[in-house]
A and B are shown apart, each in its own frame.
Chain A
C-alpha cells in the first residue's frame, strides 16, 4: 500500500473518537474550556518570557565580561529589559485572574 493510503487509513481511525463529543453536555456543567486555555496560555507566556529573559541576561553577562568598566550602564539596561519582558508575561496572568472563575 502506498504511504498516502496508509495516512488516510490512520486518519479515518481517528473518526472513531467522535462519540466522545456527545458526553460533554452530559457531564456536570461541561468542561471548563476557559481554565484549560488559561493553563496553556500561561505556560506559553512564561516559557517565551523565560527565553527572552535568558537572551537578555546572556548578552548582559557577556558584555560585562568584555567591558567591566561599563557596569552601571549594562546593569541599568539589564534590569530595565528584564522588568519590561516580565511584565508581558504578567499581562497574561492578569487576564487569567479576570476571566477564569
Chain B
C-alpha cells in the first residue's frame, strides 16, 4: 500500500473496486489494486471539484446592476487575459480567452494546493504538467488548422519553399520541444519549491521555512502566468497573420 493523503484514502476506500475494474477493462494493471487512485490524481480531482463549485457559485450570483466580489474578481481576470492576448495576438482574440483563463486558474490552484498541509501539488509530479502542456499544444494546433485550414501546414515549411526539406524536421522538433519545455518548466519549479521547503523544514520547522513558502507562492503565480503567456505566444505563431 503506498503512502496516501487523507483525501486519497477517502477516494480509494469509496472507489477502489470500480476504478480497478475500469483500468483492467482497458488492460492496465494498477500497481496497487487496493489503491488505484494516486495522490496526484486525487488532488487533480479535488481541484476540478473546487473549480466546478466555484464556477457554479459564480454563475448563480451573476448580476449586471450589483456585481459581487466574486464577479469582480473573475471579470478582472478575464480582462487581464483578454488584454494580454489581444496585445500579443492582435485581432479576434476573444475566442481564446476562455481556454487561457481556465488553464490559468487550473494551474494556479494546482500549484497553490501544495502549500496547505495535508494536500500536495498535483503539478509536482511530471505527468500533470505534461497533461496541461499537451492540452495547450493540441489547442493551438487545432486553432491553427481552424484559422487557416490545410494551409496551416505551410507554417512548418519555413520562409521559402525551397528550404522546406530542411525546415520541416527543425520545425517539427521545435514544436515538440515546446511541449517538453512547458512541462519541465512547470514541474521543475514546483518540485524544486517542494524540495527546498523540505530541506528547510528538516533544519528548523518553526519560523525558518516561511520565506521559502512565500517564495513558493510567488513562483506558483509566476509559473501559472508564464504557462499561459507562452501558450498565447504559440497561439500567435499559429494564427497570427503577417501583413
Binding site for B on A (CB under 8 A): 72, 76, 79-80, 83, 86-87, 90-91, 93-94, 97
Q: Which A residues lie within 8 Å of B32 (CB)?
A: none
For B88, what are the chain A residues with a Cβ–Cβ distance below 8 Å?
76
Task: Give the residues in chain B near A76, CB-CB below 8 Å.
Answer: 84, 87-88, 229
Q: A72-B87, A97-B191 given as contacts; is B229 within 8 A of A87 (CB)?
A: no
Q: Please measure, in the bound complex, the distance between the C-alpha atom of A90 and the C-alpha atom of B190, giving whole angstroms.
A: 11
Docked Cα-Cα span, A47 to B192, in Å, equals: 17
Whether a CB of chain A sits under 8 angstroms from the CB of B19 is no
30 contacts between A and B (CB under 8 A): A72-B87, A76-B84, A76-B88, A76-B229, A79-B222, A79-B225, A79-B229, A80-B226, A80-B230, A80-B233, A83-B222, A83-B223, A83-B226, A83-B230, A86-B185, A87-B181, A87-B184, A87-B185, A87-B188, A90-B184, A90-B188, A90-B189, A91-B184, A91-B188, A93-B188, A93-B192, A94-B184, A94-B187, A94-B188, A97-B191
Chain A, residue nearest B83 (CB): A72
Number of A-B contacts (CB under 8 A): 38
List chain A residues, Cβ under 8 A from B226. Answer: 79-80, 83
| A residues in contact with B225, CB < 8 Å | 79
User: Which of the residues B192, B222, B230 comes within 8 Å of A90, measured between beta carbons?
Assistant: B192
| Contact indicator per residue, chain B 221-243, by CB within 8 Å of chain A (1) or not (0) | 01101100110010000000000
Complex CA gap A90/B87 in Å reads 29
A62 to B47, CA, bound (A): 41
Which of chain B's residues have a CB closer than 8 A to the CB of A90? Answer: 184-185, 188-189, 192
Query: Chain A residues near B189 (CB, 8 Å)?
Result: 86, 90
A3 to chain B, nearest CB (A): 49
Q: Determine the distance from Cα of A85 to Cα of B135 in the docked complex, in whole angstroms.
A: 24
Bound CA–CA A51/B230 (angstroms):
23
